[in-house]
Amino acid sequence: KIHAMRQSMTSLGHRLKCQPHECSIESCLYQFTTMEMLTGNNKYLCSHCNKGLGKKAKYTIANRQALIFVPPSILTLHLKRFQQTIMSLKKLSKHVTFSEILDMAPFCSSLAQNVKPNEDKVLYSLFGVVEHSGSLRSGHYTAYVKVRDDIKDTASSIPLQPNGIGNKSVVGSENSSVGPYPGRWFYVSDGNVSEVKNISNVLNSQAYILFYERIL
């Protein structure tokens, strides 16, 4: 049981330490899934440690870590764009870098479900970005949306899970060059829709919500 608990708190993929002052979606996920030690007033009330102690509660030092156990087919990342000051809230406008392909393996448990045997990557492809312009009190939402190329047979062409998931006979992927699905990007602002010719326009946007679909 202890071995299983320790294994569940081990990442599926290699965790690279973020650079100082790095502001990327990977650095945000790294900070969110970093192990914390609960000490002082944050000590853990362990039910196992308190067996036989009666009403006298015993708080213990513990480690806490959040890792993904079931990687979803659709991944939604909501960035915190506000900061609490002494008397009020203020909007955070700093650019957070992100890419078309995101590997979530470093942020998944080594016991994660729906992952091929011997696979050390959990890849996602970007298909939507929501950004907000203005302040906390007022502003405007716009979006970048990726539209797939025309598909005749949608049911057979778009699997709900990446290829091989659920098939115990499938061994880890040999192709490390998995890329995003083909499609076109569009910029949407209320009723105005225009095609985006350069992906850099999408990647340079001030992301508020990111939408990824799993491809591996």
Helix (H) or strand (E) holding 145: strand 139-148
Instruction: Give CA–CA dist 112/67, Å, rounded.
Output: 9
Superfamily of domain 68-214: Cysteine proteinases (3.90.70.10)
Q: End-to-end alpha-carbon separation of the chain, Å? A: 30
Instruction: Please tell me the predicted confidence (pLDDT) of residue 87.
Output: 79
pTM of the predicted model as reported, rounded to 2 decimal places? 0.79
Per-residue pLDDT tens for 18-49? 888 899 999 999 999 998 889 888 888 877 77
* pLDDT at residue number 172: 39
Measured at the CA of 28, the angle between CA 24 and CA 34, to 5 degrees, comes to 140
Which one is predicted more confidently, 20 or 5?
A: 20
Q: Do 28 and 79 touch, CB atoms closer than 8 A? A: yes
